[in-house]
Structure formats: C-alpha cells, structure tokens
C-alpha cells in the first residue's frame, strides 16, 4: 500500500520517519528480487571412491582397467564409450572413469530432462514400466528415475517425489550419472535381458545433448 505524506496534517518528524520506513521496505523487496531462486547444487560424487569401487566390482582380471568383456556388466559405459575411453585404447581405466564423473559436476546441471520411447517388435509399447537404476558404485549418490509409457510408448523419467532430495523437490527429472535400464510390463513377459538381467544402459549428462532415447525391444 503506498505511503503518502501530507505536510499540512502530519508533523515533519513523523513524515520523515514514514518515508524512511517506506524506503527500507522497497530496498528489501528489490534485494529479494535480485537474488532470484536458490541455485541447486550439482550431484556431489566422490569420484575417486566410486571409480575404485567400480574396479573392485567389474575388473575381474585385476589389470586396473575395464575391457570390452568386463564392460558388458556396465552397459552405460559402452553406450557412451567416447566419453569414457579418452585415450582411445579400447579400455576404461579408473582414472578415466573418475575424470568423466568429474565432468558431470563441472557441467553444473543437477537435474536433466530425459524422455524415452519404447517399442516392442516394431510397435509402440504402452504401459511399460521404465526404470533408470544407478550403477551400484553410484547408488549412494544418485536416485532411481522411472515412469510409465503412454499410448505412443513415450515416457518422461522422474525421480519419485518421495525419493527426491529436498533441493530437487520441485524439479522433476533425472540426475547426471550411469544407469542400468530395466523395462517391464504388467501384462507382457519381456525377456530378462531387458530387466532382471538387463543389457541396457545409459549415461545421462548435459554434454551428451540427448533429450530422447529409443529402446527397440523384441519379444524373442
């Protein structure tokens, strides 16, 4: 409500006090507007510890790197091999793995929008349950994102509200990371390679510029 000052009816001292209060209120409002919304911090991953854990789990020959055969257990990496195999030698070392995870944090994007489109035997698959489950060496840092496909086989992935960190409560989407993809259906039995023994994986990161991923499934 505007504050007015009528010198004929109000003592000068009182008028000045009213004007000072009004100016103080305006200053507070302007300062609050300039601050804008609170910045959401990127995912904080101990990348060295996560890379070490990945090697302990998947480096079966103990040579300090993940070969093509070993990477079959981490399908998100071969799916985005160029981002991990930075020296082009066909394997991924612990250092390369940690470096790539460091890049996620530098991209300053804590939550991303990702849509999936699922087809079975060449036709859109509605009502499919799609889950992006963090690789086991990342599960303490990022959350599972999921969704159900619509009539066109499309779904936008989101972290369920009850699992979202407080700072992401009003920001649906998926966090940067490496995920195993599991796809199930309430009425159709899909092969295990798409769920319980999933061979599907996805790296989610800002610099990949992927806004939609397609999964072409077959019933046999």
117-162 confidence digits (pLDDT tens): 999 999 999 999 999 999 999 999 999 999 999 999 999 999 998 8
% of the chain surpassing 90 pLDDT:
69
- Tell me the three state secondary structure of residue 168: helix
Pairwise CA distance, residues 119 & 139, whole Å: 28
17-56 confidence digits (pLDDT tens): 655 555 555 444 444 444 444 445 566 899 999 999 999 9
The answer to whether residue 13 scores a pLDDT higher than 70 is no
Residue appearing with tokens 């989610």:
204
- More confident: 67 or 10: 67
Which stretches does DSSP call E strand in 16-140? 65-66, 92-93, 115-120, 123-124, 129-134
Half-sphere CA count of 116, side-chain side, radius 13 A:
30
Are the CB atoms for 101 and 95 separated by under 8 Å? no
Which among 211, 152, 139, 215 is positioned nearest to 179, based on CA atoms?
Answer: 139
- The helices-and-strands tally (H runs, E runs) of the chain is 4, 10
Residue 210: pLDDT band (50, 70, 90) is confident
Which stretches does DSSP call E strand in 97-176? 115-120, 123-124, 129-134, 145-148, 154-156
74-119 confidence digits (pLDDT tens): 999 999 999 999 999 999 999 999 999 999 988 877 789 999 999 9
Backbone torsions φ then ψ of 46, nearest 5 degrees: -80, 90
Measure the N-to-C terminal CA separation of the chain; round to a whole number of Å: 71
Interhelix angle 94-106/47-58, rounded to 10 degrees, is 140
Pairwise CA distance, residues 3 & 25, whole Å: 11
The answer to whether residue 209 scores a pLDDT higher than 90 is no
Half-sphere CA count of 40, side-chain side, radius 13 A:
17
Residue 167: pLDDT band (50, 70, 90) is confident
Query: What is each CA distance from 172 to 109, 137, 146, in whole angstroms?
Result: 13, 23, 11
Pairwise CA distance, residues 188 & 216, whole Å: 15
pLDDT number for residue 33: 45
Are the CB atoms for 194 and 75 separated by under 8 Å? no
- Beta bridge mates, 116: 155, 213
């Amino acid at each position: 409500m505007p504050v007015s000052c009528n010198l004929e009816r109000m003592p000068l001292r009182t008028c000045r006090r009213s004007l000072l209060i009004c100016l103080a209120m305006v200053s507070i409002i302007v300062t609050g507007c300039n601050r804008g919304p609170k910045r959401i911090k990127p995912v904080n991953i101990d990348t060295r510890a996560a890379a070490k854990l990945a090697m302990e789990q998947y480096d079966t020959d103990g040579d300090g790197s993940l070969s093509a055969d070993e990477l079959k257990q981490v399908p998100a990496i071969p799916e985005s091999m160029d981002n991990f195999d930075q020296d082009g030698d066909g394997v991924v070392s612990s250092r390369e793995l940690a470096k790539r995870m460091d890049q996620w944090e530098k991209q300053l994007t804590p939550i991303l929008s990702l849509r999936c489109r699922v087809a079975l035997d060449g036709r859109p698959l509605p009502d499919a349950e799609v889950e992006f489950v963090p690789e086991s060496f990342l599960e303490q840092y990022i959350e599972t994102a999921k969704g159900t496909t619509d009539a066109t086989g499309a779904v936008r992935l989101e972290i369920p509200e009850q699992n979202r960190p407080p700072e992401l409560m009003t920001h649906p989407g998926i966090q940067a990371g490496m995920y195993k993809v599991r796809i199930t259906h309430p009425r159709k039995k899909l092969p295990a390679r798409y769920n319980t023994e999933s061979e599907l994986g996805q790296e989610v990161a800002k610099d990949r510029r992927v806004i939609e991923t397609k999964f072409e499934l077959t019933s046999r």
